[in-house]
A and B are shown apart, each in its own frame.
Chain A
Amino acid sequence: MSTLQKHTDREYEAELETLKEKLLLMGARTEELISQAMRAFAERDADSARLTMRIDRQVDQLELDIDQLCLKILARRQPVASDLRLITTTMKLVTDLERIGDLGVNVCERVIELSAEPPLPATQSVTRIAEAALAMLHDSLDAFVAGNTELAEEVIERDGQVDSYYAQLFPELLQLMMKDSGSVFRATRLQSIAKYLERIADHATNIAEMVVFMVRGKDVRHAFALSRGDG
């Protein structure tokens, strides 16, 4: 994609550039939201969690702006080929980013609830999921910027690792709750955070799959799901 010439119509070229810039900004804000939410989680900082939740408003506004710009380009330019794939990919990508933003807000809400409670030993396992999910989000956005399908495919492969971390956490939490019924409130909150992170990794996978489509024109969504045997 990067080897393509510029459009003869400069206004069209500028519209596509603006679209890409806004999308990158939305990606950056989403990443910021998740990483600050996880810092607030690690530091058990309710105030920081509350501040972090505000970033979601910017994410939501960017979603509206980008959707509007995509509609405008579709209506006025009737894009085809790589331009069409960029626009359709963008329209799907913003939905994933917006959902990631919402999940970040959910993490912050649980952090606020947990900050008043004593810590649980399973915190480390949740952090491990967070690091993997955040790296996937970061790399999927990098893959989009560079049109790097190899990196995108790597991200898709890594989703299995996050799923496995998540599966390992559940028995750990169950054991804690069986040992100490006083830990149920905290353990279920941790379980929720882990689920949000696992969902963030799923959205990052969606982004990576769309990057492959955008660059190669080949839809890999179900191919990867089927090859993993999870339909």
Chain B
Amino acid sequence: MIQSLALARTSEATRESARTPARPSAAPDRPKMRAEALRAHFGKTEVLKGITLPVESTTVTAIIGPSGCGKSTFIRCLNRMHEVVSGARVAGKVLLDLQDIYAPDVDPVRVRRRVGMVFQKPNPFPTMTIRENVLAGLKLNGLRPKDTEELVERALRQVALWDEVKDVLSRSGTSLSGGQQQRLCIARSLALEPEVLLMDEPCSALDPIATARVEELIHELRERYTIVIVTHNMQQAARVADFTAFFYLGELVEYDRTDVIFTRPSEKKTEDYITGRFG
């Protein structure tokens, strides 16, 4: 029974991969992550209908599409956060360095350490200081690093927040501005030294200056991390992403280099959406 299920899943994956868009020429050989025939449900509703998509190593991949297209669900499947919602199910594969993160022997907590997430609204822990917020992820994972001061400084420097907060590390995380709070949350994710960083609309609650800072940060982080960003702001996708995937009604319509998507997309649906001709 298990074998036949596995076989069915493999053949489904093969069928799905046949529909995968051609690999963009600039992409490196092996993706850091790869979704294969990924399906996600909330109860009876299928929100992802067999997505096959690579996430190339140390690049930024943007997921765009109208509300309800499944883009947030997709990235939540990339670190096994979708399944924590009651009634949510996942089928298909998500490979991280060629290993299926949904394989039975894989610990989802460990997956989430390797694949971090930054959310739409800055959400520093309100009762914690700035320092404690940076270390919160480590603490929750039961980790006790030797030199916490060095770790806090490194994480805050990575998000270009150190100079702004180094003298007020004992203040509450919520005392910072919205943009600073979001960078603090990114620092909290980076403290766990993830390999992949998932960002779900990270700038939607920020003003243009704070947005520009986060985008600049994304450019810098790309050197070391693989980033997947969900955004409603298409200009932001055009600015920060190397690759862009367009989702519609739970399906992947098109995936290509960002410059190709925004100058000469292959699919009419992509063209209609990005030029504002939907509806």
Contact = CB atoms under 8 A, between A and B. Distances in A.
B235 A82 contact: no
Interface in B224-279: 234-235, 238, 262-265, 268, 270-272, 274-279
A28 interface: no
B262 A84 contact: yes
Nearest to B262: A80
Interface residues of A, number: 19
Nearest to A9: B276
A227 interface: no
A78 B235 CA distance: 8
Contact of A80 (B263, B268, B279): B263
A83 B272 CA distance: 10
A84 B263 CA distance: 7
A12 B265 CA distance: 20
Contacts of A147: none
Contacts of A81: 262-265, 270-271, 274-275
Interface string A1-19: 0011111110010000000
B275 A6 contact: no
A66 to B, nearest CB: 20
Contact of A82 (B238, B275, B278): B275
Contact of B263 (A4, A9, A217): A217
B277 A6 contact: yes
Contacts of B276: 7-9, 12
Contacts of A217: 263-264
Nearest to B271: A81
A82 B272 CA distance: 9
A72 to B, nearest CB: 16
Contacts of B264: 81, 85, 216-218
Contacts of A82: 271, 275
A71 to B, nearest CB: 17
Contact of B271 (A4, A6, A8, A216): A4
A89 to B, nearest CB: 12
B220 to A, nearest CB: 24
Interface string A24-68: 000000000000000000000000000000000000000000000
A7 B268 CA distance: 14
B243 to A, nearest CB: 16
Contact of B277 (A4, A78, A84): A4
B247 to A, nearest CB: 17
A85 B277 contact: no
Contacts of B268: 3-4
B272 A80 contact: no
B66 to A, nearest CB: 11
Nearest to A86: B275
Interface string A210-223: 00000011100000
Residue among B235, B264, B265, B275 with the highest chain A CB neighbour number at 10 A: B275
A80 B272 CA distance: 10
Given A82-B275, A216-B264, A218-B264, 18 more contacts: A4-B271, A4-B272, A4-B275, A4-B277, A5-B277, A7-B277, A8-B279, A12-B276, A80-B234, A80-B263, A81-B262, A81-B263, A81-B271, A83-B275, A84-B262, A85-B264, A217-B263, A217-B264
Interface of A: 3-9, 12, 78-85, 216-218
Q: Which 5 A-B pairs have the closest CB atoms?
A: A217-B264, A5-B277, A80-B262, A83-B275, A7-B276
30 contacts: A3-B268, A4-B272, A4-B277, A5-B272, A5-B278, A6-B277, A7-B275, A7-B277, A8-B277, A8-B278, A8-B279, A9-B276, A12-B276, A78-B235, A79-B275, A80-B234, A80-B238, A80-B263, A80-B275, A81-B262, A81-B264, A81-B265, A82-B275, A83-B275, A84-B263, A85-B263, A85-B264, A217-B263, A217-B264, A218-B264
